Amino acid sequence: MKFYNIAGVTVGYGCKYPETEKRSRPYLCTESGYADFTIKINYDDFDEALQEMPLMTHELLEYMRIGSCFYSALLDFGGLMLHASAVVLDGNAYCFSAHSGTGKSTHTTQWLEHFKDRNPYIINDDKPAIKLEEDGFKVYGTPFSGKHDISVNTAVPLKGIAFIERSNTNSIRRLEPREVFSLLLNQTVRPKDEGKLDKLCDLIDKLLTQVPVYLLRCNISHEAAQLAYDEMSGNNENS
């Protein structure tokens, strides 16, 4: 078992396959021997599980199960997973969430290109950790970052969240909290345990009081990236 610092907590787990270890390596602790929690995977049912998922591999299943266990435990430390691509610009993180295939990664790629002179980067391209700290909500990179393995081991203040819908024209509006709750629930892991579900709902309530959430209807363009930035950063004088 090795120890990793992920999203501000120390977690211990062992990797049977190289892919999980490779992705976890940037989060490896220099000191070992203590963990806030540990993850132990039961490999006995892997062959049976893979029969129902012909496109899955043993290696990928291990990676996914460790990630799922991590995010479930993170609720005990004030953190949740958001299915989103999180881009950092000027020291703030902006999360873009959508159903798979809608274009959240494509949109953040537009930020990388449009604002390239300001050194933007992706902190996590698929499953960033959003965690409540003493000074507000922060976005953390984690090893659990989707098929492209784009993540950075750092923490950045969360400036805003936008849910993306495809459109031929670009528009953005801030959502009311009552519009957002179910959207967030659909883009995170909803625990079966009642106690953890209560913690998730409480965390979402706190998130909605501190972080603005938007609906972004957009095409694939630099103009969409500029519009989103202007509104979400507060740079839009008319917002």
Per-residue pLDDT reduced to its tens digit, 200-230: 999 999 999 999 999 999 999 999 999 999 9
pLDDT at 10 exceeding the cut of 80: yes
Alpha-carbon span 1 to 29, nearest angstrom? 12
Per-residue pLDDT reduced to its tens digit, 74-129: 999 999 999 999 999 999 999 999 887 778 899 999 999 999 999 999 999 999 99
Taking residues 124-144, what's their average pLDDT? 96
Q: Determine the angle formed by the axes of helices 177-186 and 194-210, rounding to 10 degrees.
A: 130
Domains and CATH numbers, the chain: 2-77 (no CATH), 79-233 (3.90.228.20)
Enter the pTM of the model: 0.92
Split at pLDDT 50, 70, 90, the class of 51 is: confident
User: What is the predicted pLDDT for the residue at 238?
Assistant: 45
